[in-house]
Each structure stands twice: as C-alpha cells, then as structure tokens.
Chains A and B, each alone.
Chain A
Amino acid sequence: MKYIDEYRDKDLVNKLVQKIRKKVSREWTIMEICGGQTHSIMKYNLMQLLPSGISLIHGPGCPVCVTPVNLIDQAIALAGLPNVILTSFGDMLRVPGSSTNLLSVKALGGDVRMVYSPLDVLDVAEANPGKEVVFFAVGFETTAPAVAMTVKQALKRKLKNFSVLISHVLVPPAIEALLDSDESRIDGFLAAGHVCAVMGTHEYIPIAEKYRVPIAVTGFEPLDILMGIFACVKMLEQGSHGVVNAYTRSVREEGNPAAQQLLREVFEPTPREWRGIGTIPASGFHLSGEYSEFDALNRFHPVVPPASHPGSCIAGKILTGQKKPEDCSEFGIRCYPEKPLGAPMVSTEGACAAYFRYKRTAVRPI
C-alpha cells in the first residue's frame, strides 16, 4: 500500500539505524506520546535495532487508557438503560470500569454497538427514532473534529434522540504535566503525528522553550519513528531544543485550519481527569453553547457509585513513564489481557498489553 510500505522498508530502516547509532554518544530517554507509536514500536520490535543508550518510555498517549473509571462507569450505566443504544469505538469495549465493561453489558442484553466513524451514529439515530442513541466520544484532538462534525450535523438535522458522552483529552497540557513532575526523567519527546496533522506544530514551541526539550513531530510507521528518534537525538547531542517536524508528508505547521475552526465552534477546554494521573487543567473538551444540549451527562444524569480501581495497579506510573510494565508486581501474574487490572493492559496500545503481547518474558498467568 502506497505511503505505508515504503516506511516499512528493511534497507531504509537499517540505514537510519546506523545513522542513529553513529550519533548517540550517551544515554537518552525519549518518550513517545502516542499509543499508536507504542504499538508500532512493539509490533516491529524497534528496540532490537536501537543502540542500548536509547530508552523509549511509553507516555499517556492512549485516550482509551486515560479515560477515567468514573466515565466508563457512566457509559456502562447508560448502556444498561432499556431505551438506550450505546455506540462506541471498538477500543473502549473491553476497558474495565469499576466492576465490569461494555462488552459484558452487551452480553447481558444491553444494546451496545461498535462503529468505525462517529458520523455513522447519525444514521443509527435516524433509524431508531424511538430510542436514545448515545456516542461514547473518546480520543485526542485527532478524533475530536469528527465528533464535532457529528454534533453539528445532529443540530442541523434537529436530532432529538442523539447525545454524546465526551471523553476527549488534549496532548499539550499532558506533556506539561509530565514535565512539571519532579520524577520526570524525559530528555525528549516524539509528539503524536496525527494530533499535529489537525492542530499543527506551534502549540509545542512554548513547551519546548519552557522546559528546554526537543520535540519531534513523528509518524507511525517504523521508518517514521526512527526519523523522529533521529531528530530528537540530533538535538540532544547538540544540546539544543525546539520543535522539529519529522512527519512532513502528513503534517503542516499550521495543521488543518478548518478542523481547528470546527473544534473552536463546538467545544471549549475544560479540566479533565486522566486515569492514573489525576486532573490536568484545560486538558479536555466539553460541548459549548447551543451544542451542550447534546451532552449525555446533562441529559441523563446517570447515577454511578464512587469509582474504585485496584490499589495494586500502577497504571499512573506507567502512563507517565516512571515505571515499565515489567516493574509491576502484578504484571503477567494477576494482570494480563484476559483479566486486566487497569486500562494499559486492556487497550491494544496500552503499554502493559503491548509488552505482554510482544515481549513475553518467563512470567506467565496462573
């Protein structure tokens, strides 16, 4: 497939690896923000190629993983209502809430339906006028414009039976929160390429300046990730910092102005809780103005007990790069994909699931 296969080319990958090896003179710790990048790193086992001086840490770039337990419980409560069709991306269906997940609700008779695009939910609402159709809107700035377009269309079509449970999160505030932490050991970042395709690269410049870190806007294929790492390493070795676009075929500096305009129209920033991390100011979206009538929480007020999650789960430390999955005492023993304790084990991009699937050690589940 064009613009995919070329970036999985063995010779080009090896050439770039040699360049990186020649460049690296000391140890560097680089965090890749995005879960999709983690997935690619694991799937292609890029660590096998990189010099040992480079440590890659998996950041909180999995919007599925960072959706707070409370919000999942609310989605589960809504799905259990007799008149509700709960629509969701596939990623969210297995993520554990306090006691169960959406797939289990479906198994017990809840009307839970998977969609690829939020735009498809409009058709579900129109086809089921007697039911309330709720969309569980998860995702970063990459996904938020699609949800904004859907809500705008719902207003235009005067859909009365459509609403959204919003769980969007924003990347730049999260990076700042990580860098503000005393325990941060991150030398450089690979920024999420597709978030930047929407938002552009300028939001990252003040962060790079304030914390004096290199940030490389990076794609998702193995060659893209290596280009991002190379760009970061070059700056680190030079002692410089700033933002570099290493994904120029898909990302423009200004991003996508039309999509950004739509986000400003439909959403406004709000504080958001990140599972395992805590509340980060202005790090989420909520529906604004005339669009707030589509907020499912305003419409339904689902009652859920206070969220609980296993104390032994160290998801927060993993999501902020302080610990690796294999550092966790539960990893592979009491926490594995069939019985996850926290979201990073369930989501295919979660660091724990990725480690489990691609780097299995001698530890096996009981």
Chain B
Amino acid sequence: MCLAVPGQIISIDDSNPEMKMAEVRFGAAIRDISIQWLPDIAVGDYIMAHVGTALSKVDEEDARFTLDALREMGEIDDL
C-alpha cells in the first residue's frame, strides 16, 4: 500500500522496549514515529514512515548507486 514518506531520525526514545519511538523530520515537519520494527536504526538514518510507523530503512548507498546509474545512462541497457 501506499503513502509512506522518507524522513530522517533526529532522536530516539527507547525507554519503553515495547514502543520504541523516534522523532523524525520530514522537510521541516516533525512527528513521533514508532521504530519498533527496525532494531538497528540510528539517529541520522532515513526511514520510510507510514501511519506513524517506520516500515524500512532507506538504503542510502543503494539510492546513490541507482541515481548515479540513471545519470550515466547511455546506450547500455542495464539498470
């Protein structure tokens, strides 16, 4: 399903082990998001947020690689 938005973790509150939360910045808007399902997440990481929960961590290296490949795209097919 649908509307998940990338945001950057600015602080983490793991005081409640069953409800680990993070303050996440989206542009200049900030919201508390549950990071319960991303055990290795850290401040500064980007996550995909949907209805107040973080579904996955954005793989920044992968994103860079893909965008670079698109920028350099010439006659070669591979993506």
Q: Which residues of A contact B (CB under 8 A)?
A: 1-4, 6, 12, 15-16, 19, 34-37, 39, 61, 63, 89, 116-120, 139-143, 145-146, 149, 153, 156, 192, 194-195, 197-198, 220, 223, 227, 230-231, 234, 248-252, 256, 258-259, 262, 349
Contacts and interface: CB of A to CB of B under 8 A. Distances in A.
Nearest to B39: A258
A248 B51 contact: no
A194 B52 contact: no
Interface-central residue, B27, B46, B56, B60, by most chain A CB under 10 Å: B56
A283 to B, nearest CB: 14
8 contacts: A6-B63, A37-B2, A146-B52, A192-B1, A197-B48, A248-B66, A250-B55, A256-B56
A2 B46 contact: yes
Contacts of A39: 2
B30 interface: no
A250 B58 contact: yes
B12 interface: no
Interface of B: 1-6, 8, 18-19, 26-27, 34, 36-39, 46, 48, 50-53, 55-56, 58-60, 62-63, 66-67, 70-71, 73, 77, 79
A249 B1 contact: no
Q: Which are the 6 A-B pairs with shortest beta-carbon distances?
A: A117-B52, A36-B2, A142-B1, A140-B1, A258-B37, A3-B6
A36 B39 contact: no
Given A143-B1, A194-B50, A197-B48, A3 B37 contact: no
Given A3-B6, A250-B55, 14 more contacts: A2-B46, A12-B71, A15-B71, A36-B3, A39-B2, A143-B1, A146-B50, A149-B36, A194-B55, A249-B59, A250-B4, A250-B59, A258-B37, A258-B39
B58 to A, nearest CB: 5
A228 to B, nearest CB: 11
Contacts of B58: 3, 249-250
Contacts of A250: 4, 6, 48, 55-56, 58-59
Contact of A142 (B4, B19, B26, B59): B4
B55 A119 contact: no
Contacts of B63: 3, 6, 249
B37 A36 contact: no
Contacts of A223: 70
Nearest to A260: B37
Contacts of A1: 6, 26-27
A215 to B, nearest CB: 16
B47 to A, nearest CB: 9
B1 A61 contact: yes
Contact of A35 (B2, B50, B60, B77): B2
B36 A349 contact: no
A119 B6 contact: no
B44 to A, nearest CB: 12
Contacts of B79: 227, 230-231
Nearest to B61: A249
Contact of B52 (A118, A192, A349): A118
Nearest to A194: B4
A266 B18 CA distance: 15
A153 B53 contact: no
Given A3-B6, A117-B51, A140-B1, A145 B37 contact: yes
A197 B36 contact: no
A262 B19 CA distance: 13
Contacts of A156: 18
A149 B38 CA distance: 14
A19 B2 contact: no
B1 A15 contact: no
Contacts of B52: 116-120, 146
Contacts of A4: 5-6
B55 A19 contact: no
A117 B49 CA distance: 11
Given A153-B18, A230-B79, A36 B55 contact: no
